[in-house]
A and B are shown apart, each in its own frame.
Chain A
Amino acid sequence: MDTQDYINSGILELYVYGLLNEAENLEVAKMAKENREVESEIISIEKSILNLSTSFSPFLSADNFAKIKAKLELKHSKVVQLQPKSNILMYVGWAAAVLLLIGFGYQYNKVNQTSQQVVVVENEKSKLQEALVTSEIKNKQTEDALTVIRDTKNTVVNLGGQAVSPQSFAKVYYNKQSATVYVDAAGLPEPPEGKVYQVWALKLNPLTPTSIGLLENFTANNYKMFAVDNASGAEGFGITLEPAGGSKSPTMEQLYTLGKV
């Protein structure tokens, strides 16, 4: 018989209902084992009739379940046996959890300390770098100053103190060939707030002052050695105190030092 005809005969429904005799029963069971289509048909029939009958069940009190279990002496024996074991396990578990937490706390602390140390070290490092840069700048300034002083091509012009400040003095290192001018202003007092020294190259006949620069950042310059603009053919140098930014022509009342080449 063809599988579909077999299914459509309705024998599988009677099989699920339990209405077949033993021989028929074995035959269907054998068919189900050999034929997946038959097997899945049986499962579907079972689902539908189980669903239908379940839906028509009157209210079933939970007492029945308890009573059956009592009759079968099905108790939660396994669970009870497990109780002491699980207690030990529980303690071990808690202990492990606590240890883990302490470990976490310790590690967290360590990491914090380390990162603080890193910050401190970073700060020190940048301070050291600043110090290094500062000393490199100083070194450069010293070298520059020495180079200027040692340069045999330079003519040293001593500028003496004038009426407004007789104690002041300054030196000008003047290279006549290249016209470069350096000013050693170590003998000048600190300029007051809002004032700045201005350096003038002078021609004497007639007396013509030409501004060759300001001694800016006077306080910050440790060696008071300043490079100013070139001055070709200068016959003398003068330094006056002028308002910040300098003046077009020297304020003669504030002439601090003056000297001839």
Chain B
Amino acid sequence: MTQEELLPLIQTKDDRAFSHVYDMYSKSLFAVINNLVRDREEAEDVLQEVFVKIWKNIDSYNESKGRFYTWIINIARNTSIDKLRSKGYNNSQKNLSSDNFVHLLDDSNKLIHKIDTIGIREFVNKLKPKCIQIIDLLFFKGYTQQEASDELQIPLGTVKTQNRNCINDLRKFLHV
């Protein structure tokens, strides 16, 4: 199901529509949340909070503002950062971790994950370390171009295009 098919369903706000949204996006959001919060239990709390926010504010989403997926990713990042701040990690977003999303694949979920994950893990191993870092900072952590440029010590003007090249590699691998 694509966003285009999903949106009319969401308008009905029924149980089935919610199940679809959850099936499509919960894992992606959970990865983003975990990458920021770094605590499995707290991440689950945040995920629940995020979906409650999504559903309660669904009427305020408007297609002219951007993709539905973008809208909920922003909710997930913001809720995670709020959580970190409430725990006293000031400036935590920036200080957090040299760890990136690849480390989410720890021993606890290696067995549970599906075959396609193994495929993508192999791909990530081939992906340039620069790409992992840049996707991690921009997409998973929501860094601005300036922040990413500082962190990675690359010219500000090349952040956008480097990221695009990395996404192109990913798209070639996924055939999308």
Instruction: Please tell me if the beta carbons of B64 and A51 are within 8 angstroms of each other in the complex.
Output: no
> Given A10-B164, A13-B160, A60-B27, A42 and B142 touching (CB < 8 A)?
no
List the A side residues contacting B40 at CB < 8 Å.
58
Cα distance, A181 to B102, chains bound together (Å): 123
Chain B, range 63-99, C-beta contacts under 8 Å to A: 63-67, 69-71, 73-74, 77
List the A side residues contacting B162 at CB < 8 Å.
10
* In the complex, A49 has a CB within 8 A of chain B: yes
A-B contact pairs, 10 of them (CB 8 A): A15-B66, A15-B67, A19-B138, A29-B63, A47-B176, A49-B170, A52-B170, A53-B140, A56-B104, A58-B108
* In the complex, A26 has a CB within 8 A of chain B: yes
* In the complex, B109 has a CB within 8 A of chain A: yes
Instruction: Please tell me if the beta carbons of A14 and B145 are within 8 angstroms of each other in the complex.
Output: yes
State how many angstroms separate the Cβ of B44 from the closest Cβ of chain A.
6
Instruction: Please tell me if the beta carbons of A71 and B101 are within 8 angstroms of each other in the complex.
Output: no
Cα distance, A114 to B176, chains bound together (Å): 67
Chain B interface (Cβ within 8 Å of chain A)?
Answer: 2-3, 14-15, 18, 22, 24-28, 30-32, 34-35, 40, 43-44, 47-48, 51-52, 55-56, 63-67, 69-71, 73-74, 77, 101-102, 104-106, 108-109, 112-113, 116-117, 120-121, 135, 138-140, 142-145, 160-164, 167, 170-171, 174, 176
Cα distance, A54 to B76, chains bound together (Å): 14
Chain A, range 8-33, C-beta contacts under 8 Å to B: 8-11, 13-19, 25-26, 28-29
> Given A55-B121, A60-B27, A17 and B14 touching (CB < 8 A)?
no
Q: Which of B24, B35, B142 contacts A18 (CB 8 A)?
A: B142
Instruction: Please tell me if the beta carbons of B171 and A44 are within 8 angstroms of each other in the complex.
Output: yes
- Residue pairs across A and B with CB atoms within 8 Å: the count is 161
* In the complex, A4 has a CB within 8 A of chain B: no
Closest to B159 in A: A10
List the A side residues contacting B117 at CB < 8 Å.
55-56
Closest to B119 in A: A55
Further pairs besides A29-B64, A78-B14: 8, Cβ < 8 Å: A13-B167, A15-B70, A54-B28, A56-B104, A64-B26, A67-B48, A72-B52, A72-B55
Cα distance, A59 to B40, chains bound together (Å): 9
List the A side residues contacting B52 at CB < 8 Å.
68, 71-72
> Given A29-B64, A53-B32, A8 and B145 touching (CB < 8 A)?
no
List the B side residues contacting A16 at CB < 8 Å.
67, 69-70
Instruction: Please tell me if the beta carbons of A56 and B74 are within 8 angstroms of each other in the complex.
Output: no
List the B side residues contacting A55 at CB < 8 Å.
31, 113, 116-117, 120-121
List the B side residues contacting A26 at CB < 8 Å.
64
Closest to A26 in B: B64
Q: Which of A13, A29, A44, A68 contacts B48 (CB 8 A)?
A: A68
Instruction: Please tell me if the beta carbons of A18 and B66 are within 8 angstroms of each other in the complex.
Output: yes
List the A side residues contacting B18 at CB < 8 Å.
69, 72, 74
Looking at A11, A13, A54, A57, which has the most chain B CB atoms within 10 Å of its CB?
A57
Instruction: Please tell me if the beta carbons of A51 and B31 are within 8 angstroms of each other in the complex.
Output: no
State how many angstroms separate the Cβ of A221 from the closest Cβ of chain B.
93
Chain A, range 176-219, C-beta contacts under 8 Å to B: none
Cα distance, A25 to B112, chains bound together (Å): 38
Cα distance, A10 to B109, chains bound together (Å): 33
Instruction: Please tell me if the beta carbons of B167 and A46 are within 8 angstroms of each other in the complex.
Output: no
